[in-house]
Amino acid sequence: MVGSERGVARTLGPLVLLAAIGCSFTTEDTGGCTQNADCRTAFGIGSRCLPSGFCSTEPLDARCMLRLPVGADDDPSLLANAVPVATIVNRSLEGQEARALSVELALSDASAVGIEGRTFSLLVCTNEPDFEGDGVGRGDATAALGAYLEELGVVAIVGPPSSSDVQRIVPATSAPLLISPSATSNALTDLDPVPASDMMPGRFWRTAAPDTQQGIRIAEDLIARAVPSLALVHADDAYGRGLRDVVQNVLRERGASLIVTEHSFAEGDDASFGDAVADADAEAPAETLFISSDVDVVSAFVTSAATLPRLSMASFFLTDSAGNEDFARSIQQNEAARTTCGRIRGTRPQVAEGTVTNSFRSRYQLVFGDDPTVFGFAANSYDAGWLVAVAAGWAIAQEGGDLAAANLARGLRRISSGTQLDLDRDDFAGILEAFRRGDSVDVVGASGALDYDPATEETAAPTELWVIDGECRFVVSP
């Protein structure tokens, strides 16, 4: 694994009492700092410039680790010309760790090319619940991490992974550009003013398309298979409600005859979850559509359903959060859940094919030893890392080097028309050269074409079906 972890804890804002973690803070005289960058170069990534002109030398938050530049833990001077970037994932999940590694790969390659002598630093932070026994939930951790990273002067955050977490981090921050590779709720389109413009670009972007196409594909598949009855069980959050609405609207518009009952639960509330699953079981549906952005919750649902008298006989339709090897392994490792193999299907964004996808797969396998395409949203994460680099390239070339979110976003508004170039190390110099001329480019990423609508600043992507087959293997359905 690239980089090294710092095991020194620091409070996440008000969430963890300082006395409980036994942390002490000091300051050092740097000879008069004027910005956070002065302190990062002298003392490391966790240091900040205080109003007094002294540098805070607090240790880095225990939820975060410095991945780039390699060696900067021991030699902070490597941070001198680095654009500070962070990503937020749940590192307890292998699939989300793969997303962090994908961002790291993109920024490492972008640093190898450089932008007028500038490189990139990367903090990888985890929003996993109860990290090292701190008692903090995922949503609270996400919001606190956002505020902490903004305080450190990070200019862009790749993530967080889920739609509900995006809704937590947006009000907790005001400065960094946010690019989520996997938050797909339609509700997130309205986080920024629409229509967007060069004068008023949005601060929130994503390399995953909104859930409209996924919802249509789910409804069409239910209709095509003539499913007679459906229990729709969903998290009562932006992702769950948004996808529910798309599915139900399409079923209604197409005149579908299947009987649908709806059951919702509060994410993180075990009693609410248990009631929703029990109510669905009482309906004895032929199939259950379960919607949650948390793969652990999806696994818990399948495991619970497998032990109930009526749901244990039903089929299950899941969504993109479960469309990965993490979920398949969770099923394989649970005796009760294994009984559902062969009766699980789902949807996810279609894995792209082409030069950039193949290059990403080869580079990832060379550096990290795994095939990233088995993990959901790894390609989107790679693209998100590159979009940060591309946005910085525009700001350095055309905005006087000012890396404010609006200047970065103006660069992202210039990647959907013009000369076609790939989001990879080979074409990055060409993208930068076009930006120096003030030209737009049309980029193709590992997740496919990234054609952003100038009004909504959203992209689109096709959806594919997947199944957990009778041998409990994850298989993309033809």
pLDDT, tens only, 96-124? 999 999 999 999 999 999 999 999 999 99
Q: What is the pLDDT of residue 31?
A: 53
Q: How do beta strands 287-291 and 259-265 pair?
A: unpaired
Could you tell me the CA-to-CA distances from 409 to 174, 433, 477 in Å, in that order? 14, 18, 37
Side-chain-side CA neighbours of 97 within 13 Å: the count stands at 11
Query: Which 8-state DSSP code applies to residue 115?
Result: B
CA-to-CA distance for 435 and 430, rounded, in angstroms? 9
pLDDT, tens only, 282-338? 999 999 999 999 889 999 999 999 999 999 999 999 999 999 888 999 999 999 999
- Give the DSSP per-residue string, 334-370: -TTGGGGTTSEEEEEEPPP-SHHHHHHHHHHHHHHSS
Q: What is the pLDDT of residue 66?
A: 96
What domains lie within the chain, and their CATH numbers?
A: 212-350+462-476 (3.40.50.2300)
pLDDT, tens only, 248-294? 999 999 999 999 999 999 988 999 999 999 999 999 999 999 999 98
Once rounded to an integer, what is the mean pLDDT over residues 401-418? 98
pLDDT, tens only, 204-230? 999 999 999 999 999 999 999 999 999
CA nearest to 120, candidates 447, 433, 428: 428
Global pTM value: 0.88
Structural contact between residues 33 and 53, judged by C-beta atoms closer than 8 angstroms? yes
pLDDT for 20 beyond 70 = no
